[in-house]
Amino acid sequence: MPEGAYRWFVYAELALAAVTFVALQFVVAPYGGRHGRGGWGPTVPARVGWLVMEAPASVLFVVFYLLGSHRWEPVPLLFLLLWQVHYVYRAFVYPFLMRSGSRMPVLVMGLAILFNVLNAWVNARWISEYGTYPVAWLADPRFWIGAALFAGGLTLNVRSDRTLRRLRRTGDGYRIPAGGGFRYVSSPNYLGEMIEWTGWAVATWSLAGTAFALYTIANLAPRAFANQRWYRETFPDYPPERRALLPFLL
Ligand code: NDP
């Protein structure tokens, strides 16, 4: 595919980020138990949904990556590794650790699959074909700043996922999470995810990475505010100083 044609996929992802952000001002995506509700058609167990919808982001990414002419170069391989650290966790580990009996609409799962295929194409093709990353890129501060953000965001995301999971140790139902990022914000898992993909955009210094970072923010920021509203309505003793997404700010 010529680079001109490839660019349209990147523009499509940027457009999708804008559409998603606007749409999520009016509706909360019903994929978690907390925001789940009827009227969205057939459902599957959330565990199955997560596995099926996130697997393409890992598996297809490798396939698309291997089509690229730079596929055996060290820096693209390093980017492949970063991507897979996140997506092997999200697709093949997280669903098996979940302690939720909630269900996910097939429609939501299908839309997520479509997005993950597009996003894998946009980012894998960039790092192994259209982008240029000589070994000297490893000495560029953008690479190190981006990689540090990625690692920090991933750590916050995974640790916050674990804190939520531990709330279900002693039975079903929702509780007020505490400790770690939850001291400051209600959705540190989302904040971690946003930092992570912003790091990816900086490390790859690409429009492809920027499109994914913007999409992640467009998707998760409105959900973080929905979570905050839900916590305050559900728990009268919810810590009033705890922000939705950005410590001390928002
Ligand atoms: P949530 O925080 O809504 O839920 C995560 C899990 O924790 C669910 O199993 C949920 O159970 C449980 N849970 C949440 N809050 C509580 C609580 N107070 N007490 C007890 N259990 C709780 O996260 P999401 O499902 O929205 O997302 C999961 C992960 O996927 C996150 O790390 C997120 O960053 C990532 N993600 C990334 C996206 C992207 O665009 N890159 C898009 C969507 C998610 P239940 O299901 O029963 O509510």
| Interval between CA 32 and ligand 1 midpoint (Å) | 7
Averaged over 125-134, what is the pLDDT?
A: 98
198 Cβ below 6 A of ligand 1: no
Query: Does residue 170 register a pLDDT over 80?
Result: no
Instruction: Provide the pairing of β-strand 103-105 with 43-45.
Output: antiparallel
Which pLDDT band holds residue 100 (cuts at 50, 70, 90)? Answer: confident
Q: Please tell me the distance from the alpha carbon of residue 193 to that of residue 130, in angstroms, as a whole number.
A: 25
Ligand 1 atom 31 nearest Cα: 189
Query: Does residue 81 register a pLDDT over 80?
Result: yes
- Can you give the pTM of this predicted structure? 0.96
Instruction: Specify the ligand 1 atom closest to the Cα of 101.
Output: 47
Q: Please tell me the distance from the alpha carbon of residue 104 to that of residue 30, in angstroms, as a whole number.
A: 7
Q: Please tell me the distance from the alpha carbon of residue 187 to that of residue 204, in angstroms, as a whole number.
A: 26
Mean residue pLDDT across the chain? 95
Q: 69-79, pLDDT tens digit by residue?
A: 999 999 999 99
Per DSSP, 169 falls in state T
Instruction: Specify the ligand 1 atom closest to the Cα of 219.
Output: 40
β-strand partners of 243:
185
Q: Please tell me the distance from the alpha carbon of residue 201 to that of residue 205, in angstroms, as a whole number.
A: 5
